[in-house]
Structure 1
Amino acid sequence: MRLFPAIDLKEGRCVRLKQGDMNQATVYSDDPAAQARAFEALGFDYLHVVDLDGAFAGKPVNAAAVEAIRRATRFPVQLGGGIRDMKTVEGWLGKGVTRVIIGTAAVRDPDFVRAAAKAFPGQVAVGIDARDGWVAVEGWAETSTLAAEDLARRFEDAGVAAIVYTNIARDGMLSGIDWDGTIGLADAVAIPVIASGGLASMDDVRTLASPRAAKLAGAITGKALYDGRLDPREALDLLKAGGRP
């Protein structure tokens, strides 16, 4: 079970949003590469990065910050935000990103996701961000008429490495992960599911380490880590111990 620390990039800085609202951004660092190094030093082994500006623009915007993170650290990076075509997928993977996360394009152009997953086995994930059960796109600015589970089922046989599932209402709110929705999605598909949005405390980590969440591939932590509500070493030790104190 893996815990992914998150770096969300806005205008080259490391920020956290509330429910995906770009007008409610808290800046945690002006140096994302230094923040990534700090996470690596704590013992995390996989970094989750989102190009927030790219998600709205539909193309990479914070490339310089992502490349600085890659130069500064050795651990693998999964990256989402503005990945809408094969050229962008090839570009990021060519620059050393381990796995790309395709969100909006998974709704708009599922054939592109299938082609990317076939061309780059194990390196393409799908980001499913849901508001009241319906998939949101364009940096969460628009809500589609597609249910999260229906979208996930579209890629059952596509070779997608993982699904990153976010309940938007929980994101940045420290209200706890939507365990029922996330585990329900993991039960519905064979693709590994990563929980995102709302991780608030060690209680969430204990749930992640419990048999209830055994089908999940891990969870992403953001605000709780930055605000000091989560002791990273304690959390990582608990997961390594399989939930045993």
Structure 2
Amino acid sequence: MLIPALDLINGAVVRLKQGDFAQQTTFHDDPLPVAKAYADAGAKWLHIVDLDGARDTAKRQLQLIQQLANATSMQCQVGGGIRTRDDVQDLLNAGVARVVIGSTAVKQPQLVQQWLRDFGPEAIVIAIDVNIDPEGRPFVAIDGWRETSELTLTEVLEPLLEAGCRHVLCTDISRDGMLSGCNVALYKQLKEEYPQVAWQASGGVAGLDDLHQLQFVNCDAAILGKALLTGKFTLEEALACWPNA
């Protein structure tokens, strides 16, 4: 799949550079026309990041998320500060198809394992955001990328696989919002080690060649954010080079 992304702050479509709220660019004041344009172009899924909810769960943009989830034929996956079972249930009740779990999967893996069992693997996406050390090891970042844990991607992922984890969104933080190209080698390695996982590549997509390279290494999906918003290519062009997207 190719999955266009909308990052939301105070109802507006924004992008952050490497997750830094001090480096914010606002692209659209209203995300609804953007979502409808993506649907009209042929997208089947929409990825929503509630950055307000990530910083303060009391400020979750649930009403807007519900509007987006029901405005088009696209299915939505939503992340940003998902910390409790009620957070998951509220989003599913709002019409979200998949809830994206990040830091909680690192900090409280047993809790997230239970959610995978209770809600089913198709309702949960595990987001694993990584910083690559000089030796090439991916260490998992948490709390909006403000902290890097001492856990590797493998150490976080394998207990969740035992609970049925199927969908994983992996971001190379160094590439996010940089339009510098994907870390194709990372996704190649992950797909070879865990072929049972449906991998979503996130961070750095800058051109159609990045999508061709991801396809070549059998990556299952790609998140398209800044490249679409800045006109590096159109969603129609991207879909044309990714069959069955």
Match runs of 1:198-217 below 5 Å: 198-210=204-216, 213-214=217-218, 216-217=219-220
Describe the superposition over 1:120-163 as per-residue Cα deviations: whole angstroms up to 9, x where unpaired.
Answer: 11111100001222111111111111112221222122112301
Tell me the residue number matched to 2:98.
99
* Residue-by-residue CA offset, 1:100-130 (whole Å, 9 max, x unaligned): 0100100111111111111111111100001
| Cα separation, partners in 2 of 1:58 and 1:111, compared to 1, 3 Å | farther
SS at match of 1:74: coil
Q: Does 1:173 align with 2:178?
A: yes
Question: Corresponding residue for 1:136?
Answer: 141
Residue of structure 1 aligned with 2:228, choices 225, 228, 236: 225
Q: Report SS of the residue matched to 1:240.
A: coil
Runs of at least 4 residues off by over 3 Å: none
Q: Which runs of 5+ in 1 are unaligned?
A: none
Using the TM superposition, name which of 92-101 and 147-156 deviates more: 147-156
Gap change, CA 1:180 and 1:136, over 3 Å in 2: same
2:16 maps to what in 1?
17
Q: State the distance in 1 between where 2:57 and 2:126 align.
A: 16
Distance in 2 (alpha carbons) for counterparts of 1:126 and 1:32: 24
Q: Which amino acid aligns with 2:223?
A: I
Structure 1 pair 41–85 and aligned structure 2 pair: CA distance change class (3 A): same
After superposition, residues 187-198 of structure 1 pair within 5 angstroms as 187-189=192-194, 190-198=196-204
1:68-107 superposed matches below 5 A: 68-107=67-106
Could you tell me which amino acid in structure 2 is paired with residue 196 of structure 1?
S
Aligned length: 238
Equivalents in 2 of 1:16, 1:26: separation in Å? 5
Q: Given that residues 129 and 142 in structure 2 are in contact (C-alpha distance below 8 angstroms), is that contact kept between their aligned partners in structure 1?
A: yes
TM-score by length of 2: 0.92
- How far off is 1:59 after superposition? 5.7
CA RMSD of aligned residues (A): 1.5
Residue among 233, 236, 242 paired with 2:239 = 236
Is this contact kept in 1: 2:70–2:95, CA < 8 A? no
Q: Assess if the C-alpha contact under 8 Å between 2:46 and 2:77 holds in 1.
A: yes
Unaligned runs of 5+ in 2: 133-137
In the alignment, what sits opposite 2:154?
149
Match for 2:51: what amino acid? L
